[in-house]
A and B are shown apart, each in its own frame.
Chain A
Amino acid sequence: MFGKCVIGLAIAALAVAMLSTSAQAERGSDGHLKILYWQAVSTVNPYLSGGTKDIEAASLVLEPLARYDDSGTMVPALAADIPTVENGGVAADLMSITWPLRQDIVWSDGTPFTAADVVFSAEYCLNEEMGCNPLSSFTDVTGVEAVDDHTVRIHFGVAKPFPYGPFVGSNAPILQKAQFENCAGARAQTCTAQNFGPIGTGPFKVDEFRANDVVIFSANENYREPGKPAFATVTFKGGGDATSAARAVLSTGEFDYAWNLQIEPEVLEQMVANGQGTLVAGFGTMVERLVVNQTDNDPDLGKDKRSLYLGGTNPHRFLSDPAVRHALSLAIDRQILVDFGYGAAGQVTCNVLPAPPVYASAANDACMTQNIEEANRILDEAGWLPGDDGVREKDGVRLSILYQTSTNSVRQGTQALIKQMWGQIGVETELRNIDAAVFFGGDPASSDTYMKFYADIQMYTNNFDGVDPEAYMANWMCSEIPGPENQWLGGNIARACNAEYDALAAEIAVTASLEERAAIARRMNDIIVQNQYIIPLIWRAKISAHANTLKGVRMNPWDSELWNIADWHR
């Protein structure tokens, strides 16, 4: 991508030098672009909303210092170069990183972009009163200073082997200081005009914003690459559902691009067969998984004990038995799940950390094939024997599972399939689906959240931003087990505690070499999945569709999928 840009720039420069006006190089010559997101954009300020739709809409306008390209490689955006230890940009003690900024950038209002804007953006997010969504990008940041007008240094409180958290990726871009100066802290809420129409450095600028409905963009006249973007205006419409969004691009041709089409594959295939559009998929780190409760969730236990770790004194009635967990994983035919609900947007996986490739473990591939006999044998051996109704039991404990997930037709189908597969090994399953706003909501008063986990097994997708898994893997440490003492805010939802895992998590935090980090991360992944605390099912792709007349789309699972919209054309 970088090479292509350079060539593009060279051609454009040549064209300007020859004073010729090639049609290809003219900004806005391809007219109007129509993008459809079935979740509407609520705000164009990604610091106030971490929703993917909001971040990606904002990525047309606001840019970070560096972004990830479609292969997961970091490429400079507003930075002149990527700092590394080798080029001296990252301090040898890993306590700071120094970004050189491009000097030719101006905001869409014509004023120059400087280090002061970067410093301001960091302060804006770090203000505790504003409720900054991408706060985790700024973990351990102790200060951001402007070395000069075009150099920024970020200081960390600890040694950061991976210092590319702040301002890398579209969730934490640079805001213009002049525009947002009076919007710091609690006042961030009241700056409606700024939040709905931020001034940016990206290829487009906001013309009109209707919250939760539509955004109209037009080409930024001050964009740094001459001749880009090819489109003069963009309509960014929101609302509806995924199936009708796909229909608008693939069947009726009303729109050019539709986002996030998680639809049953046969429906999608039939629409693609019309020949009007193309699907684009990109595999990042999203894994649909079963989380296996390691604590007892019996409703009779009451809220002081139900699904609480309590120092390991409250083990699950039967899921604490490794044999049961192993059998449950073996009994699942993951390929059927992919064929049913995902098609091109899914692959069978046995890892909770499937990507980037260097982190993907090859040690668990045995789970890819279903093995009912083996699962039955393991359960027989462990003493779980079929009762009168065919459901296995031991010492009066029946293998009867309450299996919950959020409401979504693909998830409900997956539930039904897994229920039948588990029926073949003598496991009884009751299914429950919960409204997503409740299930994923953090209301501590609700008993239906995935953090409370008042069920035996639950299913959802998780992933991480960017390409470094350290923070993600740290979720499953013993200290992260949710409970009343941390308001159920821990990420170790399975409530599994493993001393070896904790030791590895401490080790990766101080390891700098990429190879060593990858080896540790793979080992951590293996501990989680070989103990079946988490049973990975499907490696999910981001999947979108574009009209065949739209060229230049490159699906990017690591960053905003509109990351290269400046290169899109007819």
Chain B
Amino acid sequence: MPATPSGSLTAPSRATGRHRSLWMDVWLAFRNHTGALAGAGVFIAIALAVAVGPLIHTVDPHYLDILAKNQGPSLKHPMGTDNLGRDTLAQVLAGGRISLAVGFTAMFIALVLGTLVGVLAGFFRGLDGLLMRLTDMFLALPLLPLLLVVIMLFRDSLRAAFGPETGIFLLVVFIIGITSWMQTARIVRGDVLALREREFVTAARSIGTRRRRIITRHILPNVLSPIMVSATLGIANAIITESALSFLGLGFPPDFPTWGRLLFDGANFISVTPARVLWPGLAISLTVLSVNYIGDGLRDALDPRLRGA
């Protein structure tokens, strides 16, 4: 009976000389996971649509055709137009680029920060108090005044250094990342606290495994599930938060479409032109759903006991 849930199982397979690496195993398992494959398919489709779509549907998302406002779906405007006569499909496609980029980058920052703080606090007793009080402080900061201060301090210098778009992008992902890692950190820490006392960690420690290796080979793979869930929820959160930011004037300029913003602006028009909220809402949900299934597949694939089965 293997005493370690993860990591050590791959060691014998490597020892036997079969040249299947850990990641090859993971990929094979992932490939057999229907949900994950479907998720990946949908996600790639969305990413492709967003990347290539504007080349096929060549309507300028910023062009206002005020005579053609509030139109329903037609050949010319497959998703209709908004109250300024902008083409909704073009806006959804253009908005997707920003939303996906912001969603993933911000989620990634939050995840890395949260996991790092969580693992360090859970594993090293000396750091626990300090890091968790820091987490408490970040949880206690009211978001809105914080944002206003950040805009005041950094917007102009970032705009000068990187130009209006890149500068704002950096600011937005930084802000969302820095204000949404705390939950991940708390959850990861809770799990690590329990893991630290488990037999396989004690065993690894007793045979003199270095702490860094214990963390990467034994602790991290076992907190992957909550991290994956955090990642899925984090993307949705980042996409929505971005729209709240642009509402405050911190986000992209007001004529820049993003999914969250399209949903927000379209909400009042729900009974006039329902397509305006249906499509961006669907885009966000589908993205989150597909990432969720990819995460599920990845988690299952990384779990050696399931993989072996």
Contact = CB atoms under 8 A, between A and B. Distances in A.
Interface of A: 243, 263-264, 266-267, 270, 299, 336, 339-340, 407, 409, 412-413, 415-417, 419-420, 430-435, 438, 446-448
Contact of B64 (A299, A420, A430, A446): A420
Contact of B247 (A407, A419, A431): A407
A430 B164 contact: yes
B41 interface: no
Interface string B60-84: 0011101001100000000000011
A434 to B, nearest CB: 4
B255 A416 contact: yes
B253 A432 contact: yes
Contacts of A420: 62-64
Interface stretch (B195-203, B230-238, B268-276, B295-303): B268-276
A453 to B, nearest CB: 15
Given A431-B253, A435-B249, A448-B152, 13 more contacts: A266-B272, A299-B160, A339-B66, A340-B69, A412-B254, A413-B83, A415-B255, A416-B62, A417-B84, A431-B254, A433-B253, A435-B148, A447-B156
Contacts of B268: 243, 263-264, 267, 409
Nearest to A416: B255
A264 B253 contact: no
B128 interface: no
B248 interface: yes
B191 interface: no
Best-buried of B84, B156, B271 by chain A (most CB within 10 Å) = B84
A413 B84 CA distance: 7
A253 B269 CA distance: 20
A432 B249 contact: yes
A266 B148 CA distance: 33
B265 interface: yes
B248 A435 contact: yes
Nearest to B84: A413
8 contacts: A409-B265, A412-B254, A415-B254, A420-B63, A431-B255, A433-B249, A435-B248, A447-B152
Contacts of B255: 412, 415-416, 419, 431
Contacts of B271: 270
B254 A434 contact: no
Contacts of B152: 446-448
A488 to B, nearest CB: 16
A434 B249 contact: yes
Interface in B211-264: 247-249, 253-255
Contacts of A417: 64, 66, 84
Contacts of A263: 268
A434 B269 CA distance: 23
B62 to A, nearest CB: 8
A267 to B, nearest CB: 5
A370 B77 CA distance: 28
Interface string B114-156: 0000000000000000000000000000000000100110001
Nearest to B156: A299
A421 to B, nearest CB: 9
Contacts of A266: 70, 83, 269, 272
Interface of B: 62-64, 66, 69-70, 83-84, 148, 151-152, 156, 160, 164, 247-249, 253-255, 265, 268-269, 271-272
A340 B247 CA distance: 20
Contact of B248 (A299, A407, A446): A407
A433 B151 CA distance: 12
Contacts of B148: 435, 438
B83 A340 contact: yes
Contact of B249 (A407, A413, A446): A407
Nearest to A333: B66
A243 B268 CA distance: 7
Contacts of A432: 249, 253-254
A431 B160 CA distance: 16
A68 B253 CA distance: 42
10 closest residue pairs by CB, A with B: A412-B254, A434-B249, A416-B255, A433-B249, A431-B253, A433-B254, A243-B268, A435-B248, A420-B64, A435-B249
B301 to A, nearest CB: 45
Given A267-B269, A267-B272, A340 B84 contact: yes
A433 B70 CA distance: 24
Contacts of B83: 264, 266, 340, 413
Contacts of B247: 407
Contacts of B254: 407, 412, 415-416, 431-433
A243 B264 CA distance: 13
B266 to A, nearest CB: 10
A435 to B, nearest CB: 5
Given A270-B271, A419-B255, A336 B66 contact: yes
A194 B269 CA distance: 43
A413 B66 CA distance: 11
B72 to A, nearest CB: 13
B64 A416 contact: yes
Nearest to B159: A299
A415 to B, nearest CB: 6
A263 B269 CA distance: 11
A275 B216 CA distance: 67
A410 to B, nearest CB: 10
Contacts of B160: 299
Contacts of B253: 430-433
A438 B148 CA distance: 9
B143 to A, nearest CB: 13
Best-buried of B63, B66, B164, B268 by chain A (most CB within 10 Å) = B268
A434 B147 CA distance: 12
Contacts of B164: 430
A438 B151 CA distance: 11
Contacts of A430: 164, 253
Contacts of A433: 249, 253-254
A435 B145 CA distance: 11
Contacts of A270: 271-272
A299 B268 CA distance: 37
Nearest to A417: B64
B95 to A, nearest CB: 15
B124 to A, nearest CB: 41
A230 B20 CA distance: 87
Contacts of B62: 416, 420
A264 B64 contact: no
Nearest to B147: A435
A264 B66 contact: no
Nearest to A448: B152
A457 to B, nearest CB: 15
Nearest to A415: B254
B249 A340 contact: no
Nearest to A337: B66
Best-buried of B66, B156, B255, B271 by chain A (most CB within 10 Å) = B255
A132 B148 CA distance: 28
Contacts of B156: 299, 447
A349 B279 CA distance: 38
A432 B249 CA distance: 7
A187 to B, nearest CB: 30
Contacts of B272: 266-267, 270
Contacts of A267: 268-269, 272
Nearest to A244: B268
A412 B261 CA distance: 12
Nearest to A443: B152
Contacts of A419: 255
A416 B248 contact: no
A447 B153 CA distance: 10
Nearest to B144: A435
A435 B149 CA distance: 12
A448 B255 CA distance: 19
A447 B159 CA distance: 15
A419 B84 CA distance: 13
